[in-house]
Amino acid sequence: MRLLAWRPVRKRSLRGFADVELEMGLQLRRIAVFQQRSSSWASFPRLPEMRDGRQLRDDWGNPAWLTLIAWRDRGLDDQFSRQVVELVRAAHPQDFDAEEADAGEVKG
C-alpha cells in the first residue's frame, strides 16, 4: 500500500484524511485517521444516515452513519487500519500528538 495524499484536519480525535493505493491498483480516498489517547486507527468513509432531510440518531443519541465499504472480517480491518496509520505517521509525524504517538498502540 502507498500513501497518495494526506489532508490534516484536527477535530476531536480526527487527525486527517488519507488517500491510499492498494497493490492491485485500487485507490481509496478520504480514509479518516484518528488518534485518541494512546490509540490510532483508520476508518473507511461513511455517509450520514438521513430521513426527511435530517440525520438519524442511534440508540445512544449519536448521529447514525452508513458504512459503504467493509472488510469481511475484523482481522483484515485491523491490518488495513494499522498499515494506513503507519504510512501517515511515517510521512507526517507532526500531525500526531508526540507523547501519544510514541506510546502508539494502533487500534484496529
Categorise residue 30: left if φ over 0, alpha if ψ from -120 to 50, beta otherwise: left
Is 81:41 a contact under the CB 8 Å cutoff? yes
pLDDT tens string 52-93 = 999 999 999 999 999 999 999 999 999 999 999 999 999 999
Task: State the residue for C-alpha cell 501517515.
Answer: 88
**Number of domains observed in the structure of the chain:** 1
pLDDT, residue 8, reads 97
Domain around 57: 2-106
Residue 34's nearest CA partner among 48, 22, 46 is 46
pLDDT reading at 108 higher than 90: no
Task: State the residue for C-alpha cell 500531525.
Answer: 95
pLDDT, residue 83, reads 97
